Structure 1
Amino acid sequence: MDIQHYQEFISAFYKKRNWYQYNSFIHPIFFSEEVGEVCRAIRSIEIGRDRPDEATPDQAEQLENLTEELGDVLDNLFIIADKYDISLETIMIKHQEKLFSRYKDA
Structure 2
Amino acid sequence: MNFDEYEKWAIEFFKERNWYQLDSSLRLNFLMEEVGELSQAVRRYEIGRDRPDEAKRSDSENLGLIKEELADVLDNVIILMDKYDISFEDMTRSHREKFEDRY
TM-score above 0.5, yes or no: yes
Identity of aligned residues (%): 50
Q: Which residue of 1 aligns with 2:62?
A: 62
Find the aligned partners of 1:37 and 1:78 in 2 and give their Cα distance: 18
Higher relative contact order (CA 8 A, sep 6+): 1
Q: Which residue of 2 aligns with 1:14?
A: 14
- C-alpha contact (below 8 Å) 1:4/1:89 kept by paired residues: no
Q: Secondary structure at the match of 2:22?
A: coil
Q: Secondary structure at the match of 1:26?
A: helix
- Higher relative helix content: 2
Gaps in structure 2 of 5+ consecutive residues = none
Greater shift after overlay, 3-12 or 29-38?
A: 3-12
Q: Secondary structure at the match of 2:34?
A: helix
Gaps in structure 1 of 5+ consecutive residues = none
Show the 5 A alignment for 1:1-106: 1-103=1-103
- Matching residue's letter, 2:67: T
Extract structure 1 runs of 4+ deviating beyond 3 A. Answer: none
Residue by residue, what CA displacement relative to the aligned partner does 1:32-65 show, whole Å, maximum 9, x if unpaired?
0000000000110111111101101000000011
- C-alpha contact (below 8 Å) 1:34/1:73 kept by paired residues: yes
Q: Kindly state the Cα deviation for residue 89 of structure 1 after the two structures are TM-superposed.
A: 2.0
- C-alpha contact (below 8 Å) 1:11/1:78 kept by paired residues: yes
Tell me the TM-score normalised to structure 2 length. 0.94
- Matching residue's letter, 1:55: A
RMSD: 1.0
